[in-house]
Amino acid sequence: MADPWGARARDWAEVEDEGSRPLFEEVLDLTKVGNGSRYLDIGCGSGLACHLAVERGATVSGIDSSQGLFTIAGERTPRSDLRVGDMASLPWENDSFDAVTFINSFFFAVDQEATLREAARVLAPRGRLAVVTWTSPDQVQAIAYLRALAPLLPPMPMEVDPFIGPDRLRALAASACLTALGVVDLPWEWDYYPDLVTALRGMMSVGLSAVAIANAGEDAVKAALTDALQPFRSPTGAYRLRNTVHCLVATK
């Protein structure tokens, strides 16, 4: 598919992105995004982190490969500098930003070392960079989503592994001539209210779901996700998947 993340971009923005609002706020705090900051979100998706940075008084830029998500990001932050492009080739000059973030986007990089070096290039001296990755399957209940889709996916051109540990993150920072300030563990809950309809609307908007739907059909994906969600149903009918993510914070 040319743009799997854009297939259900509005659902992604309204369900999945909104559910990540607390995580975005934590990462913006760790990178000290505030009034007057020059901020870049790499893999900005539908632009909620960019919107939150604008609310803090930052000058905001963002880049994403999905035209569908880019359109919504533009609606959220109409005066920001948003681009459709490749995270490994950033269209900004050296030392352009005080804060740079990869929030659940870095693990899609084809060449992680080159991608982080490119992010370091546009980070200003003493600026802060954050990379959010998943911790381990036993701390990420969202693994149920990945396991449900696995049998429904076609052979993939590259394997995406969201589980990148602290040692690897620190090594990547060093390879990009960055100084790691620490790796912080943050909560990231997938909450779906009020019911299964909302949960499926969110999960089926993820790019991987779009690929599975194209390969196996919408009914098969819906059935697999419905089964996978059952252990996470609350007495009210809502669903919650508890996750913990790593956040590398580094400086130049």
Q: Are 242 and 187 in contact (CB under 8 A)?
A: yes
Listed residue (36, 30, 80) closest to 60, CA to CA: 80
Residue 188: pLDDT above 80? yes
Residue 1: pLDDT above 80? no
pLDDT confidence bin for 130, thresholds 50/70/90: very high
Q: How far is CA 24 from the centre of its chain?
A: 9
CA atoms in the 13 A half-sphere facing the CB of 16: 22
Mean pLDDT of 164-185: 98
**pLDDT for 159:** 85
Mean pLDDT of 187-213: 98
**19 vs 21: CA distance, rounded Å:** 6
pTM of the model: 0.97
- Is the preceding peptide bond at 194 cis, omega within 30 degrees of 0? yes
**13 vs 202: CA distance, rounded Å:** 9
Region label for 126, one of left (φ > 0), alpha (ψ between -120 and 50) or beta (otherwise): left
Q: Are 249 and 127 in contact (CB under 8 A)?
A: no
Mean pLDDT of 118-133: 98
> Considering only 44-53, 99-108, 149-158, which range has the smallest mean pLDDT?
149-158
3-state secondary structure of 248: strand
Average pLDDT score, the chain: 97
Torsion, Cα 209 212 214 220, to 10 degrees, reads -100
Residue 235: pLDDT above 90? yes
Encode burial over 80-115: b for 16+ CB neighbours within 10 A, e otherwise. bbbeeeebbebebeeebbbbbbbbbbbbbbeebeeb
Mean pLDDT of 174-188: 98
Mean pLDDT of 190-205: 98
Max CA separation in the chain (angstroms) = 52
pLDDT digits (tens, 9 = 90+) for 74-103: 999 999 999 999 999 999 999 999 999 999
**pLDDT for 139:** 98
Q: What is the DSSP string of 167-198?
A: HHHHHHHHHTT-EEEEEEEEE--EEE-S-HHH
pLDDT confidence bin for 158, thresholds 50/70/90: confident
In this structure, how many other beta carbons lie within 10 angstroms of the beta carbon of residue 174? 13
